[in-house]
Structure 1
Amino acid sequence: MLTYKIRDQFKYRDFMDHVIYEKNHDIGGTWLENRYPGVACDVPAHIYTFSWEPNPDWSEFYVGGEEIFQYMKRTTAKYDLARDVVFNSKVVEAIWNQGRGKWELKIEQEGRFIWDECDIFINASGILSKWKWPSIEGINSFKGHLVHSAKWEDNYDFAGKRVGIIGNGSSAIQIVPKLQRVAGHLVNFMRTPTWISATYSAEFLPDGKNFYYTEEQKAEFRNNPKLLAEYRKKIENSFNKFFYALLNDSPGQAAVTEQYTRIMSERLGNDPELIKKFIPSWRVGCRRLSPGEGYLEALQAPNAKYTWDTIERITEKGIVTSAGEIELDAIVCATGFDVSFVPQWKMRGLNSSTFDKWRDDPEGYLGIFAPNMPNYFIVNGPNCPVGHGSLLSVMEWTTEYIIRWAKKMASEDIKAVIVKSDVVREWNVYAQEYLKRTVWSSGCRSWYKNGKIDGKVTATYPGSVLHYKEVLETIRGEDFDIQYSEPKNRFSFLGNGLAALEMNKDADLAFYMYK
């Protein structure tokens, strides 16, 4: 996305060089890494699409991870977007050199190291990219097949096996129905119940369930771009409205609570005991919502079992809970990621500042800036709109905002931009006060709160996605300390007093006049 915006949309290539260091062997990010059975996106495919590259050929309303990955591969090839990517290159260190106004980078490439430097350092590594094993005693002692959902291994056959799945978040909800069909016996280990929601934008779905587009529909989308654009706009409009349901005690919250309670009750066969066990007491949306078609049904199958008994440890043979040991052939850890927003590399900013505080309390500004980190921008940082709306739209607006800063810095000879500490403080006070109005602050354990039940909401934005878009349309230079390369006079960049186009003797010097 960054390459397309710089080179093709804004055509800033003449004054802005960039390189992308990618730790993996290929493009795709989460859709390259997450290969577990059932992996899919819970955002409708036609809006989980780059705005500048609609895809009339999506197979379903909601598509699987492989189809998204192939769409990204095609788009990359079409626009030659991999030209500025260096693969198998993992940033391991970033140190700010105040005297030179540069980030000095150390990059690991297949066992060797190279060094680079940059004026502007952008972290686009994503939120859900640092998977982690659960902190369970004895996890390394298990003699069977042990795998994490974010580091899937395709060489194991689950057919007929005794399978344990730890977790009931989005990944586990997608994995369970797939493995239940082939496993001899499956056990889902959970800490607390979770809401299984209706699919987003359900008004576009017959019977509220996912569906395949016909060949005739796809051909119509291909032959009529205007029709496709209108269809995508309707879905996006519907998707953005869901934010209102995430406000405490709103009519929208009451409506989705009633709807999801009814849906879960039906999937649980209207069994009062199961309803009591599976329907949460906390508000809808407090945790990331998961449509989860087939999940509750799979847990009620004859070869499946679920338990909320506390996991005490893992042994050579299986998992020991407070109720006893369950012997297993395979354990799947769908236990999530490090969501502290701490970079995956060693990083030191102004006055050797680090991100140590962020492990418990990540405080940034607009989800883009970090204190004491000059010329450092984050795509999807703390308190960005990650829980409401299409993330691709949010990432596109964020990228455009960063590029506007880069253009300003390049054209005005700015050495360093640092968000002011009092601005960060006031922004976070505002954000947390606002977020008390939302369901994210209600009593559930959530990665939106860095894995805590109580405390600050560190992941989601205090407002709607449209509110975020409007905020990013203005740079708000007053919120930053700006240092110029020429400290004696900040206007040195104005040069000889002529516009660049005046250097061309044949230039149209009345371009601003219209007939």
Structure 2
Amino acid sequence: MSWVRHPLELEEHAIDEMPNLKVAVIGAGIAGINAAILLPAKVPGLELVIYEREEDIAGVWHQCTYPGVRCDVPSHVYQSTFAPSREWSQHYATGAEIKAYWSQVAEKYDARKYIKCGHEVLSAQWHEQKSKWEVTVKHLGSTLHEEADFVILATGIFSHPKLPSYPGLSDYDGHVIHSSRWNPDIDLTGAAVAIIGNGSSGIQVLPQLQKIVSRIDHYARSPTWISGNFGVENINPGDAVPDDVQASFADPETYLRYRKEIENRSFSSFGGIMKDGIKSKQAEARFIKLMKDKLGERTDILEAIQPDFPPSCRRLTPGPGYLEAITEPTVEYIRTSIERVTRTGIRTVDGTERSVDAIVCCTGSEKSMAPPFPVIKDGVDLSLAWRPEGSIGFPHTYMGIAAPGFPNLLFINGPQTSAATGTIIFSTEIQLTLAAKILRKAQSQGIRTMMPTVQATEDFRAYCDAYFPRTVLSENCTSWFNGGIKGGRPIANWPGSGSHANMVKREPRWEDWEYSYWSSTGNRFAYFGNGWTLKDQVLDRGGDADMTPYLQVKSVTGDVDLKSYHEAWFEV
């Protein structure tokens, strides 16, 4: 058989002589800050820019300054795995301390050099001919048009606050305040205040305002479970870390044991989301007892506040001081639906009108998980298509990291990524590491575009739809988990535990992606170049190059971890 030579003109470059890759990350919250630290370390030749709408970094912890704002998971869990602080002042940090911590981490790793604050992204549109994203950005009254090879959305779940749509709200004569856009210049001392909403912010802000106002009308559309604290037993969220405990953290081994203990607990409650499971029933009994103990003789409030759905259908909130506050004579707990807002207050559907000086809206954010600005390819805009009324109707993603039909577009902490257990910070680091592997593959293998296949995305969707009905996440509640649609499809949650998600995302499934290549022939191996490496060229010119980075002292002494041996991408 004669050799048939396939026509391919070799590209005259070394295989590792790669073009720079321009990546635009949208959002400089915790995900964006970690992107500024991890991606440059993991992707050679990266041209990174991070656009942040606000005037400073830290996302929700910059935006949310309402009284009582704090994290509802332990401080020593809600932090970077590679830059932990041993100096948290409280077991559950305030919003201000969390923002200060992430600002310090950003400074330590010089992350701000990649971040452009005060730059609001207006749209991202794919240009087929260029195979690039055009990102339109508003800054200081000017509109900028920037190009990027990849766009990564790290805009978060809570970045776009949503006021309620009650008739008359815009005509109300008093102050209207959204909890995530708190105005410290408004003094509510002695005022009559309406608080709408009993999610996390409503539960946190009410006890603080109750101390200073004359009256609170608390409008709670849905019942809610008030849980104990997460992660650290017998500790109240406002408790300071004792001096002796703080001092013991000076020993790294002692601190590591402490942190592993509380972080392990964050992974231990997975059984609690299984429908009719023993852990779910135990949690329900524990929360009922807690609520009864705190509410005392106010059985009327207990009957109104106790849900008919199991715990964890909605995001649990510890709520220190909340139950005690709503039993105070200055607080009225109202489950009757709001009909409209009048010029002086709020009227409910039973005809009762209550006058107030201010309305505090603890009504959360846009819950559809659609991008907060147009993301367009071939006339399809994900910011519209993913909404319940849109052409797709929900966020249709491949494992929460990408979407079919939208090349070179990635998501961090997007739809279908919030796991029932574990920590959001470690999950963010794992997702960014996966993103780095995707970027390295595109950059090093001459890939022009890559996106998940429709079939892989449909298979992931089928798995989700088979998994969620066995969990309490599919019960009849309203939550940001299900896009604010009572009993709706969970769109925020990962279909499994936190450790399950981290295991899945450790290694990419390259067979689930479709690719196009920069080579005019479309040959997938054109990136091989001319057969040389850069080190080969250095040696050929008489220079010195380390051709054996795999030979290290530990290989001579025999101190080799064979599990990871020869797996480091950079040891070539």
Whether TM exceeds 0.5 here: the answer is yes
Shift of 1:82: 0.3
Change (3 A) 1:345 1:275: closer
**Residue pair 1:385, 1:464 contacting (<8 A) in 2 also:** no
Report the equivalent of 2:307: 280
1:376 to 377, 389, 409: 409
What letter is aligned with 2:439? A
What letter is aligned with 1:444? C
What letter is aligned with 2:435? I
Q: Is 2:293 the partner of 1:266?
A: yes
Report the equivalent of 2:568: none
Whole-angstrom CA distance in 2 between matches of 1:408 and 1:475: 10
User: After TM superposition, which residue ranges in structure 1, 4 or more long, deviate above 4 angstroms?
Assistant: none
SS at match of 1:490: coil
Shift of 1:284: 0.5
Shift of 1:229: 1.9
Report the equivalent of 1:470: 503
SS at match of 2:347: strand
What pairs up with 1:392-431 in 2 under 5 angstroms?
Answer: 392-431=425-464
What pairs up with 1:211-230 in 2 under 5 angstroms?
Answer: 211-221=239-249, 223-230=250-257
| Cα displacement string for residues 177-220 of structure 1 (whole angstroms, at most 9, x for unaligned residues) | 000000101110011210000111243x34x6652112332232
Q: Which has the higher helix share?
A: 1
Shift of 1:270: 5.5
Q: Which moved more, 1:61-70 or 1:357-366?
A: 357-366
Shift of 1:499: 3.6
Whole-angstrom CA distance in 2 between matches of 1:20 and 1:67: 23
Uncovered stretches (5+) of structure 1, i.e. residues with no partner: none
What pairs up with 1:88-487 in 2 under 5 angstroms?
Answer: 88-203=118-233, 205-206=234-235, 210-221=238-249, 223-269=250-296, 271-323=298-350, 324-349=352-377, 351-355=378-382, 356-360=384-388, 361-487=394-520
Q: Is 2:529 the partner of 1:495?
A: yes
Whole-angstrom CA distance in 2 between matches of 1:254 and 1:180: 33
Could you tell me the TM-score, scaled by structure 1's length? Answer: 0.96
**Residue pair 1:169, 1:334 contacting (<8 A) in 2 also:** yes
Whole-angstrom CA distance in 2 between matches of 1:61 and 1:27: 23
Q: Percent identical across equivalent pairs?
A: 33
What letter is aligned with 1:414? I
RMSD: 1.5
**Residue pair 2:72, 2:237 contacting (<8 A) in 1 also:** no
**Residue pair 1:353, 1:372 contacting (<8 A) in 2 also:** no
Shift of 1:347: 1.8
Shift of 1:386: 5.0
> How many residues in Structure 1 have an aligned counterpart in Structure 2?
508
Report the equivalent of 2:6: none
| Cα displacement string for residues 277-335 of structure 1 (whole angstroms, at most 9, x for unaligned residues) | 22111100100100001101101112111111110000110000123100000100001
CA radius of gyration, larger in: 2
Shift of 1:402: 0.4
Shift of 1:436: 0.9
Could you tell me the TM-score, scaled by structure 2's length? Answer: 0.86
What letter is aligned with 2:400? G
SS at match of 2:386: helix
Whole-angstrom CA distance in 2 between matches of 1:29 and 1:464: 25
Shift of 1:504: 3.8
**Residue pair 1:50, 1:392 contacting (<8 A) in 2 also:** yes
